[in-house]
Amino acid sequence: MLKKVVFTLLILSLFLSPDKDGDFLFKVRKKIDSIKPFKVKFLNQVINNSVVEIEEKGVMTFRDRGKIKWEYLEPDHKIWILSDDSYEYYDIEDEQVTRGKLTKKTQLWIFQLLYTKELIKNINIDIEGRQIHFLNEEDGADFRIYLSEKLLPLKIIQKDPTGVEIVYVFSEYKTNVTLPTDCFQLKIKGEVDIIELE
């Protein structure tokens, strides 16, 4: 589960080429940056050999690169919070909290899309079809991002080298939202097992 989750703006002129692909990516990044903080509903599927093995629904809250929250509401209630380089994963049904460090944000598509400097090197863009395709050479993950007319992500397909696909479908963006001060603080109910990962 953690591997699945640990799969969502710099000074762009320093690394974006002035061609059409670079201009398009700049517009996408600028658009997403302009709507934060935002919340969006998501449907998440894990597909193996064309079979949907996992399907979950919830809400993602994105403040900035240091604060991201995935709250899974169906079929089970789980919460994953990224705070700078530390994460907490709370499986409410199993009464378990896992804490650790996220040293490689390259596994998170939103970091690839918004912040990775090297993205332009391995990118293919279909401007008319509003699709972005890029490959993370470090871990071999293949990302395909499908955008709305407003240049917001509608669907992400991440395929790892084993062929397993992680799919996110987004809907009902709520933009420039006001977030409570404790939005990214994990609220634990009762006693839980704590697992600290190095």
Q: Which residue has the tokens 């302009």?
A: 34
Which of 196, 186, 192 has its CA nearest to residue 93?
192
The pLDDT, as a whole number, for residue 6 is 45
List the chain domain ranges. 2-196
Task: Give the residue, 134 or 4, on which the prediction is more confident.
Answer: 134
Taking only Cα atoms into account, the Rg of the chain, rounded to an integer number of angstroms, comes to: 17
Q: Give the mean model confidence (pLDDT) for residues 144-154.
A: 93
The pLDDT, as a whole number, for residue 60 is 95
Instruction: State yes or no: pLDDT of 194 exceeds 70.
Output: yes
pTM value? 0.81
Q: How many residues are given for the chain? A: 198
Q: Picking from 34-48, 94-108, 114-128, 140-154, which range would have the lowest pLDDT averaged per residue?
A: 114-128
Instruction: State yes or no: pLDDT of 135 exceeds 70.
Output: yes
Which of 52, 54, 64 has its CA nearest to residue 5?
54
- The CATH class, in words, for 2-196 is mainly beta
Q: Are 133 and 124 in contact (CB under 8 A)?
A: yes
Instruction: Label residue 119 exposed, middle or buried (CB < 10 Å: 0-12, 13-18, 19+).
Output: buried
Q: How far apart are CA 34 and CA 26, in angstroms?
A: 12
